[in-house]
Amino acid sequence: MVRGLVVTGVTFGVFMTEAIIHYNMGMAKSDGQFRLRLPPPEELAKIAAVTGVFSIASSALIRSLEQRMLTK
């Protein structure tokens, strides 16, 4: 259980960082200047929700694959 939470948390952190970088890349394309900034709160919440769902899915897939590999 604890391992699953660690996997989910680490995955969320990495994916969220990637999402913020991609957000800033898109903003740089429209602004013509790259700088690190956080999206507005509503947009940040949407990004966090999507990232959270995929982090949980990733953790579940990892757990499933590990169980299948250990039973063979």
Judge whether residue 10 has pLDDT over 70.
yes
The Cα 15–Cα 37 span in angstroms is 16
Domain limits for position 24: 2-71
**Based on the structure, what is the number of domains in the chain?**
1
Percentage of the chain exceeding pLDDT 70: 99
Separation between Cα atoms, residue 25 and residue 19, nearest integer Å: 10
Rounded to two decimals, what is the model's pTM?
0.83
| pLDDT higher than threshold 80 for residue 72 | no
**38: phi then psi, degrees, rounded to nearest 5:** -90, 145
**Which position has the higher pLDDT, 5 or 72?**
5
CA distance 2 to 47: 25
Choose between 35 and 49: higher pLDDT.
49
Q: Shortest CA distance to 5 belongs to which of 50, 48, 47, 60?
A: 60
pLDDT band at 55 (very low <50, low <70, confident <90, very high): very high
